[in-house]
Amino acid sequence: MANSYDLIIIGGGPAGLSAAIYGGRAKLKTLVIDKGGIGGLVNTTREIVNYPGYAQISGPDLMNEFKKHADTFGVEFLKGEVVRADFSQAEKKIVLKKGQEFFGKAVILACGSEPRLLNIPGEKRLRGMGVAYCATCDAEFFEGDEVVVVGSGDQAIEEGMFIAKFARKVTVIVLHEEGILDCNKVSGERALNHEKMAFIWNSTIEEVLGEENVEAVKIKNLKTGLTSELSCQGVFFFVGMVPSTGYLKDSGLEMDKRGYIPANDLMKSNLEGVYAVGDNRVKYLRQVVSAAGDGATAAVAAERYIEELNDFNRNVMQSEKRVLLLFFNAQDNESLNYCSALEKSTKEDGLDCKIVSVDMATKKNLAEKYAVKSIPSVLVLDKGMESHRFEGLEVLTCTQWKSILTN
């Protein structure tokens, strides 16, 4: 099927592109879907100085390299916004805004994050009319203007200084006591001594004012409770990011309160064959290099998962013969003995069945899927449908098997 893939990657930032490189190289039929331009958030980064091998490179240039690399491995790219996902079947369904549907054996979620909104009056209405979230995109429009920056993290302070290249004055609204910024020390000191930067402490903004364009902001001092107005032509919000995982709300995927996806060291989510990488997962460091690492890990894990899935389909689901699916533990002697006893008892009389053994230690997926709690366990499957289940060490005799299998 044309819309059917081994691996579907949602998001084409550094995490998604790295996964694509590994997926493509492993000869998986791989599709990357992105609603915007390939490269993600990095496209808005003017300068990257901490990606190994590149002492200094612009964000878009680095992402071009990633994209070109993925192209060499035959990865497909599609522009579109994913609005829904159904992970309940083995073939996972991805639905785009225009209604197109795609199916993947495994899905890697690499949707990154977007600026958090304060949701104060005027913020939405005046977006693009003075309210902004991206300095690279919009700073230049404020040549000679007075601009307010909300927030005091790395992004707020560093972008604030960039805006000051254009603006006449940049006023930073900070929640904390005088002198305390959330950003790194070096940037903090530079900003505090910057001739065009001013700071308003212990404060937040309550409203953006203006008819057609931003004319002022309403500032509230948290200590005194007093509000005041500050006239300005622009407001940049840098009050943190939120993961772009809203569309996954009803997919059964586990997320934390803020919408980040917890993943294990294989980048696997709580769902089989669904992985989360980069900024949209719960993690310690959100950078390009760590996003790339996540992508590689997930693609390799997905490759193994798909291989197992294919094997299983071939050997079990499509088997002409009935299958005795044996769950055992390769490190446990009793369990091994049981295996050979079972082989013997079914072979002796040339019973018409096939034994497929599953090592619980490495194939937890299957154990979960069939709700196997104890080892050894034997499931009798006919075209994948379970007809009987035996738990415990007692080995059935050949005659007993015969009566079960001929029923």
Partner 1 sequence: MSLKQLNAAGFEEAVYNNGEACLVIFSRKECHVCKEVVPVLEQLQPNYEKKFGFYYVDVEKDKSLFQRFSLKGVPQILYFNGGQYQGKQAGKVEEEQIEDKISDTLK
Ligand X SMILES: Cc1cc2nc3c(=O)[nH]c(=O)nc-3n(C[C@H](O)[C@H](O)[C@H](O)COP(=O)(O)OP(=O)(O)OC[C@H]3O[C@@H](n4cnc5c(N)ncnc54)[C@H](O)[C@@H]3O)c2cc1C
Q: Where are the beta strands (DSSP E) in 27-91?
A: 30-34, 76-79, 82-86
Taking the complex as a whole, how short is the minimal distance between the CB of residue 362 and ligand X, in angstroms? 29
Helical ranges in 26-114 per DSSP H: 59-72
Quote the CA–CA distance of 10 and 291 in Å, as a whole number: 14
Rounded to a whole number of angstroms, the minimum distance from the CB of residue 134 to partner 1 is: 7
11 is a site residue for ligand X (CB under 6 A): yes
> What end-to-end distance do the CA atoms of the chain give, in Å?
37
Other C-beta atoms lying within 10 Å of the C-beta of residue 72: 10
Cβ atoms 98, 1 nearer than 8 A: no
Concatenate the DSSP letters of all residues of 346-401 into one string: HHTTT-SEEEEEEETTT-HHHHHHTT--SSSEEEEEETTEEEEEEESSPPPPHHHH
CB of 106 to ligand X, least distance (A): 17
Least gap, CB of 238 to ligand X (angstroms): 8
Sign of CA dihedral 143, 145, 151, 157: positive
Among 12, 24, 210, 376, binds ligand X (CB under 6 A): 12
Interaction residues for ligand X, span 82-141 (CB under 6 A): 82, 110-113
- Least spacing, CB of residue 220 vs partner 1, in Å: 24
Q: Is 287 in the site for ligand X (CB under 6 A)?
A: yes
Does 48 engage in binding with ligand X (CB under 6 A)?
A: yes
209 is a contact residue toward ligand X (CB under 6 A): no
In the sheet that 216-221 helps form, which strands lie side by side, from edge to edge? 203-209, 216-221, 227-231
Pairing of strands 101-109, 274-276: parallel
Radius of gyration of the chain (CA): 28
Nearest-angstrom CA–CA distance, 9 and 15: 10
Write down the least CB distance from residue 290 to ligand X, Å. Answer: 7
Among the residue ranges 173-181, 279-287, 324-332, 335-343, the one whose residues contact ligand X (CB under 6 A): 279-287
Q: Which of ligand X, partner 1, none has residue 269 at its interface (CB below 5 to 8 Å by kind)?
A: none
Residue 15 binds which of partner 1, ligand X, none (CB < 5-8 A, kind-dependent): ligand X
Write out the two tokens for 365.
């997926």
14 near ligand X, judged by CB under 6 A:
yes
Between 40 and 210, CB nearer to ligand X = 40
Of the pair 82, 375, the CB lying nearest ligand X is at 82
Q: How far apart are CA 218 and CA 240, in angstroms?
A: 20
Closest alpha carbon to 155 in 131, 172, 168? 172
286 near ligand X (CB under 6 A): yes
Which stretch, 40-48, 169-177, 370-378, 396-404, contacts partner 1 (CB under 8 A)? Answer: 40-48
In this chain, which of 19, 20, 26, 41 binds partner 1, going by CB under 8 A?
41
Instruction: State how beta strands 131-132 and 113-115 pair.
Output: unpaired
In the list partner 1, ligand X, none, the entry touching 210 (Cβ below 5 to 8 angstroms by class) is none
41 is a site residue for ligand X (CB under 6 A): yes
Among residues 278, 283, 325, 358, which is the contact residue for ligand X, using CB under 6 A? 278
**Residue 227 gets which letter from DSSP?**
E
Least separation in angstroms between residue 21's CB and ligand X is 13
Q: Nearer Cβ to ligand X, position 64 or 287?
A: 287
Q: Which of 27, 37, 192, 231 forms a contact with partner 1 (CB under 8 A)?
A: 37
Q: Which is nearer to partner 1, 124 or 383 (CB)?
A: 124
Four-CA torsion 361, 366, 367, 370, nearest 10 degrees: -170
Task: Please report whether residue 61 would count as binding partner 1 according to CB under 8 A.
Answer: no
Nearer to partner 1, 134 or 200 (CB): 134
For residues 236 and 401, which CB has a smaller minimum distance to ligand X in the complex? Answer: 236
Structure-block tokens of residue 85: 């996902």
Q: Is 16 in the site for ligand X (CB under 6 A)?
A: yes
Question: Is 142 a residue that touches partner 1 (CB under 8 A)?
Answer: yes
Which helix (H) or strand (E) segment holds residue 326: the answer is strand 322-328
State the residues that interact with ligand X by CB under 6 A.
10-16, 33-36, 40-42, 45, 48, 50-51, 81-82, 110-113, 155, 244, 247, 278-279, 286-289, 291
